[in-house]
Chain A
């Protein structure tokens, strides 16, 4: 059995998610879909959007793919419970197609089918639908809009964390606390595991007077600074520096929230730096359901608690305040109070009367600086990708070229 994880023609609805990495590599519930699918042990290939292709890249050569093939949508949430379902579907080997909302979530294509090797994301869904495969119930949930990643993270957390614990190389430090090799926890740090485990991956340091309330998962080689409060279904990636108060939030790798400030019910991408005092509100004064603006349409999320979705490479200045349910586009630099969504590659200082486009050169230079602080080399691919994403998100910006100088 071959597995193809495919991005489809609705990926752009998820921006800023999936701009700097394919959607199957976007972490949710402390896992990624690709990592989860690879657990099954079958050969896995992918179909991604054009801007991820380099030097012939991952698009096939035009030859047909060997069937049978299980197609899985890259937006399917990496819910560990799906592994069992997928395994049994593969074992049965009966052709099927299952949907989620308006998307094809997965399909098993029988052996006699000729599958073009160079299918694009725009072509996959029509190709699968035209095969008229037997229709299954909706088996797998996809993440269709950015705010849904927060709900998904919280929904799948409990099952996922058990799996992570079971499959990782951890030692029990104390009841409910599981650590990898080389983890250092200051004696004054406190772990409350009454609601779930505290899992700390290798090389991570927990500084003095930190409060860790499980269930949480902190990635490898990260730092939780003193007096932090990391709580309840929070997932921190690798090489992160976290401080202040964080709850029910996922922070992707190489990101910093190193000082005081509240971050709750949010999703934070890679290489983000949240300046001291940055706070994200996750509850309305009226305690009502939060609505999010998507390109002029206000969508009712049905969520009482929802913070921000912060794209990769975002930087916030000190004391930046994000109102509930805001989306910060990639590589934006944010100042003051955020009362609307933030376009990608923007200097957002709306509360000071200005929102302008940030120069691509500035972003590339900033990326290089941030990379080098972590000992990571900025490659030609990084720069090309940055340029491509800048173009992809151009429509988000309708402003002057004027720059803010501090």
Chain B
């Protein structure tokens, strides 16, 4: 998965390109490259690319001329991260260049065919075939736009692609299929990017091409058209996200900032959705009849979103009595699933671009099931594919490890569960009690964040351990999984989350003086059982870090460290309970000198399967 950025028109400089991909670096950062188009065809395209992180300033030798350019930040899928495999890729003449985000599935066959026609490939990537295809169609007499179209039609897979030609310095061609693309409309300039984050510094007016649509950008105009060349008219939308929201706001890392943003992001998630007048929830954005009719729910998600989904499962079952299953989206996609009637699918994804989840949605729709999405990024692929759902309104999440999106996802799932329950048998009183608990959440998250220093000191003590265990029950079991994932993601320590009752069925063999165990015991219902688990761990020399609710001192004497979070109702314990886990993982990673915002081998949004 990668980030693409292109700029044409007034105000263009190569620095603009660098800044653009820097804003997209969270999408991928193992190599980068830029292409600059001169004022006339003779000067050709200037290309510079390199492995490693995007520099703070342009290397020496990059020209300061040019009327248009494009840039790319890469997350490798085919071909190792090096300069050759970095984008932009050029054709044999050096006059055509492309940048690409996505995967071309039939690239091998195309590469073989093009090689047979005399094309010389320099890289190992799938993307390189795109520019050679265009070159081939140009050789066959097609003008540039048509050659571009024919190239796209030859490919199978996904692309968000931009093309420049030195013989056409006044335009950038763009195509979209399955990868995100947003076009920015300026005054005397236009842009293309994978993400609005790169657009916002220049303009707030954007258009979103659909899959199978292309566009030609000039300095003054954006013309959209389909692969059959019919011109399409795209709605211009105004972006409302703030640039400040994207910047770090005084924190050392985006992740730290986003952890601390959770009181306001959770508030924003709930804003306007609590219907006190009926003791219920009013979400909008989807056909409520689906929720009323649903006899089963299947949740599709990956990673942290999957953990949120698992919490949602308990919520739907315990509150609304709706049987719920949580599927890894990729597993669902290929498993030939059995879908019963009146099953509602809920797809969860922060970015709305997760390829596995998108495929799962498409499979569910193919099987005739209604689907709704829970997504953070407005206008993303999953949002569009579902056509209905709930946006998190959590603001942009830049840190690769998901934090505030997770808590907002859990809150949205809770809102949905309340709405479904109130449609069924939940009394007005219970509805009001849950609304009251929700209302207190932002303040309670704020109180939990005050534990930051305490958690930092715990983190320092355990930063050098090689393994961690996280245990929890019911609503805190998915939290155990999430805590372990957070630690793995950013500190590279192996960690495992297990249901507390499962400890004795195997994992307890791992417990010794080298094993810290994070015990999640903030729920009322299961405290007594957790005490037994903690005693078992203590007896075997494990280091116990317990997270408990205010007023519950039962684990104090047998834990090495106690983290006390405010009391709340059991279904909302994960929203508070995850904050110490996020902080713990964060501080351990910082202590170990890890790159918290851009951990190795990971990208923010996984748009490949």
Contact = CB atoms under 8 A, between A and B. Distances in A.
Interface string B6-39: 0000000000000000000000000000000000
Contacts of B432: 97, 99, 129, 135
Contact of A138 (B277, B429, B436): B429
B367 interface: no
B436 A99 contact: no
A99 B428 CA distance: 7
Contacts, number: 30
B228 interface: no
B276 A135 contact: no
Nearest to B439: A132
A129 B276 CA distance: 6
A138 B432 CA distance: 12
B88 interface: no
A126 B277 contact: yes
Interface stretch (A101-109, A246-254, A329-337, A377-385): A101-109
- Size band of the interface chain B makes with A: 10 to 19
Interface string A75-103: 00000000000000000000001010111
Interface centre among A125, A129, A138 (most CB of B within 10 A): A129
B279 interface: yes
Interface centre among B277, B429, B432 (most CB of A within 10 A): B429
Interface in B377-434: 427-429, 432-433
B429 A130 contact: no
B502 interface: no
A132 B428 CA distance: 13
Interface string A117-143: 000000001100110100100100000
A102 B433 contact: no
A130 B436 contact: no
Contacts of A126: 276-278
A125 B278 CA distance: 8
Contacts of B277: 125-126, 129-130
A66 B11 CA distance: 66
Contacts of B429: 99, 135, 138
Nearest to B279: A129
B428 A101 contact: yes
A248 B437 CA distance: 44
A358 B429 CA distance: 42
Nearest to A103: B428
Nearest to B422: A102
Contact of A102 (B276, B428, B436): B428
Interface string B296-315: 00000000000000000000
Contacts of B436: 135
A103 B431 CA distance: 11
A125 B279 CA distance: 10
B281 to A, nearest CB: 13
Given A135-B433, A135-B436, A104 B428 contact: yes
Contacts of A102: 427-428
B430 to A, nearest CB: 9
A300 to B, nearest CB: 13
A130 B276 contact: yes
Nearest to A98: B429
Contacts of A129: 276-279, 432
Contacts of A97: 432
Interface in B272-330: 276-279
A102 B278 CA distance: 9
A97 B436 CA distance: 13
Contacts of A104: 428
A130 B275 CA distance: 9
Contacts of B278: 126, 129
A102 B279 CA distance: 9
A125 B433 CA distance: 16
Nearest to B436: A135
Nearest to A125: B277
Interface string A12-55: 00000000000000000000000000000000000000000000
Contact of B427 (A101, A125, A132): A101
Q: Ordered nearest first, which 4 A-B pairs have the shortest CB separation?
A: A126-B277, A99-B429, A99-B428, A102-B428
8 contacts: A97-B432, A99-B429, A99-B432, A101-B428, A103-B428, A129-B276, A135-B436, A138-B427
Given A103-B428, A135-B436, 12 more contacts: A99-B427, A99-B428, A101-B428, A126-B276, A126-B277, A126-B278, A129-B276, A129-B432, A130-B277, A132-B276, A135-B429, A135-B432
